[in-house]
């Protein structure tokens, strides 16, 4: 039985862009000799999109199936790079019989650095760069995790620049509540365009994210403004893996 279960999530398993985040995190875990495991084909969706879209029945079926599996393997601690999985496993599984210590990958990486298991190379990868962090709704406002991702950015020898709407006052990327999987209602602007404007206003070279859905929405926003050459969208795990020369 491993020390920690890495819950990959649907995006991290199937989305080509999010797979790179999964690989970056695995590189970090392997480098630090963390004793971890994945469920592989036994892993199923946590049920978050179903619940947010209002289908409580499907959510509970998914959740109970996952809980039976996790309890069967006597899982105690889970790490995930997806705040949706993080929030659901941490806050909604306990009442259905699944109680685990659940941490976000930024918290785990911060712990690995603080305990000296991971050291960042002095390679100047991000020297002189401006990085802004977009707070995922289910990491920030839902679970009060604001400092771990920012502490990691500050270790990169880069300048952390905040958007005017950040932390408790952050703005959604537009993908939450299962909105990722449907067309937008009529309006005069997409939410991800509005949020990308906030990021571009900071003159940041990199928009850092801690969620695969936010990553997709912000990447689409950057493409909308044809700024792909000037602004990169990267997950915190990718920034750290690059800085550690992994």
Query: What six digits make up the tokens of 21?
Result: 């985040």
Ordered per-residue pLDDT tens for the chain, 246 residues: 899 999 999 999 999 999 999 999 999 999 999 999 999 999 999 999 999 999 999 999 999 999 999 999 999 999 999 999 999 999 999 999 999 999 999 999 999 999 999 999 877 889 889 999 999 999 999 999 999 999 999 999 899 999 999 999 999 999 988 888 888 888 999 999 999 999 999 999 999 999 999 999 999 999 999 999 999 999 999 999 999 988
Query: What six digits make up the tokens of 234?
Result: 């990267």
Q: Quick one: pLDDT at residue 157?
A: 85
Q: Quick one: pLDDT at residue 227?
A: 96
Q: Quick one: pLDDT at residue 183?
A: 84
Dihedral sign, Cα of residue 21, residue 22, residue 24, residue 28: positive
Q: Quick one: pLDDT at residue 176?
A: 86
Site of tokens 């491993």? 2
Q: In this structure, are residues 109 and 153 in contact, taking their beta carbons and an 8 Å threshold? A: no
Dihedral sign, Cα of residue 29, residue 241, residue 211, residue 45: negative
Quickly count: other Cβ atoms within 10 Å of residue 168's Cβ. 10
DSSP type of residue 36: E
Q: At what angle do helices 16-31 and 236-243 cross, to 10 degrees?
A: 50
Residues 6 or more apart in contact with residue 110 via CB below 8 angstroms: 148, 151, 152
93 class by beta-carbon count within 10 Å (0-12 exposed, 13-18 middle, 19+ buried): buried
- DSSP assignment of 94-123 equals GGGT---EEEEHHHHHHHHHHTTS------
Angle at 231 between CA 141 and CA 135, to 5 degrees: 5
Site of tokens 């602004």? 231
Distance of CA 35 to the CA centre of its chain: 21
């Amino acid at each position: 039985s491993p020390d920690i279960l890495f819950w990959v999530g649907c995006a991290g398993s199937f989305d080509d862009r999010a797979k790179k985040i999964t690989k970056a995190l695995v590189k970090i875990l392997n480098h630090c000799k963390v004793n971890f495991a994945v469920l592989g084909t036994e892993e199923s969706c946590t049920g978050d999109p179903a619940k947010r879209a209002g289908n409580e029945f499907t959510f509970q079926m998914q959740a109970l199936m996952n809980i039976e599996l996790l309890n069967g393997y006597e899982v105690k601690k889970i790490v995930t790079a997806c705040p949706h999985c993080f929030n659901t496993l941490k806050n909604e599984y306990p009442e259905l019989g699944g109680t685990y210590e659940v941490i976000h990958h930024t918290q785990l990486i911060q712990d690995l650095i603080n305990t000296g298991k991971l050291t960042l190379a002095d390679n100047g990868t991000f020297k002189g760069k401006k990085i802004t962090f977009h707070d995922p709704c289910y990491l920030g406002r839902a679970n009060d995790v604001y400092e771990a991702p920012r502490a990691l950015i500050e270790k990169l020898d880069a300048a952390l620049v905040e958007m005017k709407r950040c932390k408790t006052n952050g703005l959604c990327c537009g993908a939450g509540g299962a909105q990722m999987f449907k067309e937008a209602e009529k309006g005069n602007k997409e939410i991800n365009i509005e949020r990308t404007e906030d990021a571009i206003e900071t003159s940041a070279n990199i928009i850092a994210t801690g969620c695969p859905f936010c990553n997709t929405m912000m990447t689409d926003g950057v493409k909308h403004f044809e700024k792909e050459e000037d602004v990169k969208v990267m997950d915190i795990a990718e920034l750290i893996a690059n800085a550690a020369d992994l």
